[in-house]
Amino acid sequence: MLVASLYSVDDSYPPLQEAAARGQADAARLLLDNGAQVNHVADFENTPLNTAASYGHMDVVRILLERGADVCYGRPGGTAGDIARARGYKELAELLKTAEATKCK
- Residuewise pLDDT in 10s, the chain (105 residues): 445 455 454 556 789 999 999 999 999 999 999 999 999 998 778 899 999 999 999 999 999 999 999 999 987 779 999 999 999 999 999 999 999 999 887
43-68: burial string, b at 16+ Cβ within 10 Å, e else: eeebbbbbbbbbbbbbebbbbbbebe
How many Cβ atoms are within 10 Å of 94's Cβ, its own excluded? Answer: 13
pLDDT value for 25: 98
pLDDT value for 99: 95
Q: Which fold has domain 4-103?
A: 1.25.40
